[in-house]
Amino acid sequence: MSLKTDAQSAFADLRWPVRGAVFIALGALVATGQAPTDLWWMSVVALALGFILIPMDTGRRAFWSGWAFGVGYFTFALRWIVSPFLVHIERDGWMAPFALVFMAAGFAFFWGIATFLAHRVLRGHWLALPLLLTCAEVTRSFILTGFPWAILGHTLIDTHVAQLAAFGGPHLLTLLLLGFAASLASLRVAFFAPALIGAVIIWPLLQPKDTAIPSDAPIVRLIQPNAPQEEKWDPVMSGVFFDRMLGFTGEGEVPDLVVWPESAIATLLNFADPWLTQMADAARGAPIIVGVNREQEGRYFNSFVHVGRAGNIESFYDKQHLVPFGEYIPGGDLLHEAGIRGFGSSYGGGFTAGDGRRTLSISGFGPIRPLICYEGIFAEEVGGTEDRPRAMILITNDAWFGKAAGPFQHLAQARLRAIEQGLPMVRVANTGVSAMIDARGRITSYIPLNEAGFIDAALPPASPPTVYARFGEWPILGLLVLLFGGVIVRSRRNDLDHAAPGA
């Protein structure tokens, strides 16, 4: 009897509350691979143990075991989700535990369905769970506008393996992580040993080589005001934060570009001319990127604005991928038409989405890909612009995410976007972490979390377009289809062999 069968048999004799608690604990250990702990090896071990213990004798047992595994994972990985409800704790605090519980339990259903299908469709084949859990992560990245936060493959961002995202994006990392854990769990020497040897050989090759930054590289000034969310819109404190950013902008030598964070000005762009003029004076001729809300024909937009000399608005970009229930209510316009007022974004009840991804041309700097906060977590939406940009610039207000896991997980995803696209990333956050990230995902300079300040950082060079930048998700989706086909054929062949006379 195999180690896996022995362990499953003994584990199956335990009562469900105990087994469920074990799966929840293992799921939480898997999540320690996410930032800021970055214990990727713990994720591998915990996944392997989970694969050993998940029963494949019935679909029902497989489903609930996978669901409990997911509950533990998402509860720990998304623990920061309570932070937005604590900004105004007297009003919203009661919702914090419900938000975490419902999100964790809901996303865990994707894992439960994956384990159920592993039993029902793929007959418990050792590659069934890696394939189906990868598909579960792909599905939650897209369905209902998607939420690709804490993807399993993100546990590898702080390793050299993350460089493979240039070929297959985050879901290739997920498949590699799960496949390695499953081979370890199944003691597949024929797979695990070559994989381990290959990893030892390839690991040094994946290490990003030092890339010299040209002496004439543009200098970008990253401005971090460190405005706590509960004070950000206060009439008095908003002026303090604005003056702080003005001071940072006007210090020292003139940079080639100045970047302020998301919603940095506490007024609508429609009325911001005096503020823009002060900003331009402080910048002394350097172009400025700033986040500010604007109104147009009764609709409100979360905007990324390029300010030129004398405070002129040279160009702007409106956030395309909005946060459901945070920046708009899904179906709100339909509710408005049905007579339920106050929810329709098209009628002033929330933000309206912009008209699509594009590049902006910054005077004296070149084309850039603008991104606002939440948009940076969608790997498949970052590329695909008509012109290849020189850099990506992401402005965000991570004050909503608290002071623990949230800001660091958001930063890690920005690093992964840089690897996938082969482009440097300028990331400027209200409370941090603001950072310059090179095209291999390395942070070249940064301002720590919850500190006010600025840095002048040279823009690293871009790499040639990556496979992922050219083809997006198609390579990894094609690989999943091929692997599924092989596993299904093998599973059906085994069924026929077992059904044959004398078997």
The catalytic residue positions are 262, 319, 373
Report yes or no: 162 and 441 within 8 Å, Cβ to Cβ: yes
Count how many Cα atoms sit within 13 Å of the Cα of residue 57 in the half-sphere of its side chain: 8
Contacts of residue 420, Cβ cutoff 8 Å, sequence gap at least 6: 165, 166, 169, 170, 379, 382, 383, 466, 468, 469
Q: Give 3-state DSSP helix, strand, coil % of the chain, rounded to 5.
A: 55, 15, 30
Three-state secondary structure call for residue 25: helix
CA distances from 182 to 46, 72, 171, 316 (A): 11, 19, 16, 47
Tally helices (H) and strands (E) across the chain: 18, 12
Helices (H), 338-401: 379-382
Report yes or no: 368 and 391 within 8 Å, Cβ to Cβ: yes
Among 341, 421, 400, 344, CA closest to 165: 421
Report yes or no: 374 and 323 within 8 Å, Cβ to Cβ: yes
CA distances from 104 to 28, 71, 81, 153 (A): 11, 5, 10, 18
Sheet holding 360-362, edge to edge: 360-362, 366-372, 391-396, 425-429, 434-437, 443-447
Report yes or no: 405 and 121 within 8 Å, Cβ to Cβ: no
Phi-psi region of 135 (alpha: psi -120 to 50; beta: other; left: phi over 0): alpha
Tell me the C-alpha distance between 129 and 245, whole Å: 50
Report yes or no: 426 and 417 within 8 Å, Cβ to Cβ: no
Among 311, 314, 287, 283, CA closest to 303: 314
Q: Where are the beta strands (DSSP E) in 297-352?
A: 299-307, 313-318
